[in-house]
Amino acid sequence: MNSSNSEPPLNFGDIYIVAFPLTNGTEAKTRPAVAVASEDWRSPDALVIFASVSGSAARASDKGAVVVENWADVGLDRPSVVQTHRLFSSQLRYAGKKLGRLHAVDRESLKSAISDLFAN
C-alpha cells in the first residue's frame, strides 16, 4: 500500500472477499463483506469490522438488511444484501481481493442500519 497516498487503504463501505467465519466457530466461507468500522482506517494491522454480503434475495426482508442498489457497479456478481446482523472482525491483511465500494446512497443506508442495530 502506498503510504504517500492521502486516501486510506480502507474506507467505510469498501467491499472485500473475506473468509467469513461460520457459527460453528471452526469453519469459514469465502464471501464478499463490507467494511463498517475500524480502529484505524489507515493501518492494515488494525482490526476491521465487516458485515456479511448475501446474494440471496430472501435476505432482503431481514431486519437491518441493506439492499445494494448498484450491485454490478461495485463488483458484486448478483443482486446482494448487506447483513448488518452478521458482523465479524479481522485485520485487513487477511482480507482478499477488494471488489469495490458501495455507492454513497448505499453507504448512507448502511450507516443508518448499523446505527439502528446498536440503538436497540
Residue-wise pLDDT for 79-99, tens only, equals 999 999 999 998 888 888 999
pLDDT tens digits, residue range 9-51?
Answer: 789 999 999 988 887 878 888 999 999 988 887 787 888 999 9
77: left (phi over 0), alpha (psi -120 to 50) or beta: alpha
pLDDT of 73 = 94
Three-state DSSP class for residue 68: strand
CATH of the domain at 57: 2.30.30.110
Q: How many CA atoms lie within 13 A of 106 on its CB side?
A: 26
pTM exceeds cut of 0.75: yes
Domain housing 29: 14-119
Q: Are strands 28-38 and 47-54 parallel, antiparallel or unpaired?
A: antiparallel
Query: How many domains, the chain?
Result: 1
Q: Is residue 3 part of a domain?
A: no
Per DSSP, what are the bridge partners of residue 19? 30
